[in-house]
Amino acid sequence: MKLDEALGLIRPIPDYPHPGILFQDITPLLSNGEAFTTVTQELQKHALPQSVIAGIEARGFIFASALANALNSGFVPIRKAGKLPHTTISQQYGLEYGVDTLEIHIDAIAQSQNVLLIDDVLATGGTIEAAIELIQELGGNVYKVLALLEITELKGRERLEQRFPGLSLTSLMHT
């Protein structure tokens, strides 16, 4: 299956989870094994050897863990507040429809460790910005951010480029 065919399985859901939001539903892509494999193989092209793969809750986990498994790399979950059992650091961030908090275990990333950060959607950039800040606070080096889908009109890329000059950012699809 070609990448554009796999990404074409993503379906927009209007007014979810709030009125005015056009949610991008990735479940049809995930339920198609060939499409999921195609996307994972495309993401694999961006990974450096010896790096850890970090994924942002919840849908970023799916792609990050699949990629980490394919690369025989470690997977680091970056979760919503209160979901991790060990000592954490946290970062609050804004969404297009509210405010939330991300957390990471204090021992999840080694000093100077290369990290590939994955999320499903780049919208306003707030979630990815918070995740990068957490990784950097632990001493990690985010060498690349991968997003399955980028909502360009929300200008998240511009926000991240301004905040982190030189950041390598790739989105597989743009809406």
Residue ranges covered by each domain of the chain: 51-174
- Catalytic residue, from 5, 11, 34, 96: name it: 96
Judging by DSSP bridges, how do beta strands 114-122 and 88-95 pair with one another? unpaired
SS3 state of residue 161: helix
Least trusted range by pLDDT, from 21-25, 80-84, 165-169: 21-25
pLDDT above 80: residue 96: no
- 59 labelled catalytic: yes
Domain 51-174 belongs in CATH node 3.40.50.2020: yes
Digit-coded pLDDT (tens) for 109-130: 999 999 999 999 999 999 999 9
Q: Whole-number mean pLDDT of the chain?
A: 95
- Catalytic residue, from 57, 59, 103, 150: name it: 59
Tell me how far apart the alpha carbons of residues 117 and 41 are, in angstroms, rounded to a whole number: 16
**Whole-model pTM over 0.75:** yes
